[in-house]
Copies of this chain bind each other. A is one copy, B any other.
Amino acid sequence: MTQPITRRRWRLAATAAAIAATCLGATAFAQQPPSPALPTADQTDPVKLGWMVGSPPPADRVIRFADGSGYRFPQLRWSFSHFRQLVPTTGVSRGVGAPDPLPRAERPELDAITFTPLGGTAPMTWRQSFDANYTDGIVVLHRGKIVYERYAGALQPEGQHIAMSVTKSFFGLLGATLVAEGKLDENARVSQYVPELKDSAFGDATVRQLLDMRTGLQYSENYADPNAEIWAHTRAGNVMPRPPGYQGPQTFYEYLQTVRKDGEHGGQFAYRTINTDALGWVIRRATGQSIGDLLSERIWKKLGMEQDAYFTVDTVGNEFAGGGLNAGLRDLARFGELMRNDGRYRGQQIIPAAVVADIRSGGDKAAFPAAAYPTLPGWSYRNMWWVTNNAHGAYAARGIHGQLIYVDPKAEMVIARFASHPIAANSRIDPTSLPAFSAMAEHLMKLPR
């Protein structure tokens, strides 16, 4: 990681990063140019392309953090399943007890489920959508059993994949849980917990405003703009490589203190990753625990997880609350199942049912449309979850490039997906995803009990 980075290399890295737009947020569908000529999932299969294979790998098959190649497509199809090989990390322990395997009732007919993509006319099968979405792995649970599970490329059942902004929903949930337990006051100002943020934009925001991302911040996640604040944020957190001579903030928290206000808090929903990093800081101060330890204690050790998870960390060891969780796919599904069961798992109430109900019933619908997500009409955002407000009461954790947990209470269905789509914004991935989920739900609901 400390090898010299030439200016040319740095430019390459920045360009690649801008193209891949890998980081954190979501940009509107309309901002993404149409790319009919994208190479297919099969053409970019990281195993077939031989990334990082060999002793040593051939020079043109090496992926490094320092030169930005880890974020370049198609290399990211490898690195999303191998983040710990690129950057320092910290573990989220499952404990040392026996895992609690998810029961299986696989149904081969599910690959043939057919739906029409949003904005399209030609039908597509579920199996075709697997490739269309550059899926690395997907698990469907129905009534708590695995009915569908498939992997591709660099991901295996025994392996961890970066969850990107799905990470946020874990901390929205834990933040709301701490509120329910009286350990965190949702009406308190952020500066009450983190005095260091007093003079930043976060100083007079409330914990609730963070949780629902209704803060007025000078911060752009427009990946096409090399001056967007997203770059400063991710360089500070060591999530993106730094240019030679970099003198900016050295950690996430140093960066957060530089954020300036833009407008008022409490207004429209505006998706900005730094809200979650600020929330992470608040949670650490409220609990005295690192958020990795909190996640281990509250979730990872409670659900019979199969694998440890891990976080990317900045140079002083702070986990990336906004997008740095890496986990096994079945464990992601297991967490979705906890949500579907209103916070209970195997008879134990892990998360207060009222917290799950609050997420499920959604945020202020009137605050959502200004964010202009063309694929999410009628949705809202609550406690860092995306809520469909549809007839099934479905809600989701979403991360760029296709990372997802989708909970459909009425259909008794949970979908967990890891992907490495060339385009970051889910608005490009939703058209071949959301109707597929609905079609799966309809099919599963018809099955006898």
Q: Which residues in A have some Cβ–Cβ distance to B below 8 Å?
A: 1-5, 52, 55-57, 62, 64-66, 82, 84-91, 93, 95-99, 101, 157-160, 238, 241-242, 245-247, 250-251, 253, 281, 284-285, 290, 306-308, 310, 313, 315-318, 328, 330
Contacts and interface: CB of A to CB of B under 8 A. Distances in A.
A64 B158 contact: no
Contacts of A52: 316-317
Given A56-B253, A308-B308, A1 B84 contact: no
Contacts of A285: 55
A241 B55 contact: no
Nearest to A91: B84
Q: Which of A66, A85, A86, A99 has the most CB of B within 10 A?
A: A85
B66 A2 contact: yes
A89 to B, nearest CB: 5
Contacts of A330: 96
A284 B158 CA distance: 21
A85 B238 contact: no
Contact of A317 (B85, B96, B250, B328): B85
B5 A2 contact: yes
A88 B86 contact: yes
Q: How many copies are assembled?
A: 2
20 contacts: A1-B315, A2-B5, A2-B65, A2-B242, A3-B315, A4-B246, A52-B316, A52-B317, A56-B318, A65-B88, A82-B90, A84-B90, A85-B317, A93-B158, A96-B328, A96-B330, A98-B98, A98-B99, A307-B308, A308-B308
A87 to B, nearest CB: 6
B84 A88 contact: yes
A88 B85 contact: yes
B88 A3 contact: no
Contact of A158 (B55, B66, B87, B96): B96
A424 to B, nearest CB: 22
Contacts of A317: 52, 56-57, 62, 85
A253 B315 contact: no
Contacts of A101: 96
Contacts of A95: 158
Contact of A87 (B3, B88, B97, B306): B88
Nearest to A318: B56
Contact of A318 (B55, B87, B98): B55
Contact of A316 (B57, B313, B328): B57
A328 B308 CA distance: 13
Contacts of A64: 315-316
A252 to B, nearest CB: 9
The 9 tightest CB contacts between A and B, nearest first, are A1-B1, A98-B98, A55-B284, A96-B306, A2-B242, A56-B316, A93-B158, A62-B316, A52-B317
Contacts of A242: 2-3
A1 B284 CA distance: 24
B62 A241 contact: no
B88 A2 contact: no
Given A55-B284, A315-B3, A307 B96 contact: yes
Contacts of A84: 84, 88-91, 310
A315 B3 CA distance: 9
B89 A85 contact: yes
A85 B316 CA distance: 9
Given A2-B65, A84-B84, A93-B159, 6 more contacts: A2-B238, A55-B253, A56-B317, A87-B88, A96-B157, A96-B328
Given A158-B96, A307-B96, A317-B85, A245 B4 contact: yes
Nearest to A311: B85
Contacts of A308: 307-308
Contacts of A2: 1-2, 5, 65-66, 238, 241-242, 246
Q: Which of A2, A96, A281, A328 has the most CB of B within 10 A?
A: A2
